[in-house]
Amino acid sequence: MVMMVCLACMPVSLLIGQGVESFENFPSSSGSYASGSFTGADGSEWSYVQCRGDKAIDLPTPCLGKKRNPLSRIFSGQIHNGCRKIVFSYRQAFSSAVNLNLLINGELIKNVTTAGGYGDTTEVHTTDSLEVNLPGDFQIEFRQADSLNSGQVCVDDLAWTSFEQGVGSERDVPGAGLPALRLVCTGEKQVRVFASGTGHKRLLVFSADGRLIKDSGFLNSPSILDMAGCPEGFYVFILRNRENIILGEARMILK
């Protein structure tokens, strides 16, 4: 299974000027709703209220409940260096439609919804790049929009870029108008890569901790990339031309 979303990022050190939260430290795998806290990848203490852990995008994943008292939510501690843009993935856990709010410092940034019904429970949605443009310390919160009707929702694969000068730029932030780089899983860790345009290109693959995994020539689309030997997890693909200009990016979770 491969999950794809568009994500532009720094080519040399993936996590410089960027935060990623995959909720690897979320402690629950139970179907019971609970509240607690854990240390996030950003180093702050994340707190969760009335969340379960048995419904996932990529385990572990917090799942916010429906009709819970108090209202289901999950929120970070104070994160430094500001936030320019942010992107995240979500999945409807049961038949009830998603109605979820993303807030930064208490201000609504994005409301996401789904149509509802069991047919949507297998689809992972990912937001477009969301403008925040907030300097200084900030707090991220996911909160159910309606205390009665907001359906159970899984939240995962959160990424943001820093606002602070020198550690990020508009050219290197999620969704900065770049053409899509499309990935399709074709077998046991075989990825078919589709890209627009012609001519010689370079395809770079980074792990979630910023390590360069692959750097290969890319000429024809589609092409097959062998990911055998790569552990399951989160990867970022970056396509560049001869002039080292970013042509497209995509991220995936390899399983």
Tens digit of each residue's pLDDT (9 = 90 or more) over 101-118: 999 999 999 999 999 999
For residue 185, what pLDDT band results from cuts at 50, 70 and 90? Answer: low
- Is there a contact between 250 and 181 (Cβ–Cβ < 8 Å)? yes
Domains of the chain: 18-167 (2.60.120.260), 173-254 (2.60.40.3080)
Task: Tell me the pLDDT tens digit for each residue of 26-76.
Answer: 999 999 999 999 999 878 899 999 999 999 888 899 999 999 999 999 999
Average pLDDT over residues 208-223: 79
Q: What is the pTM for the complete model shown?
A: 0.64
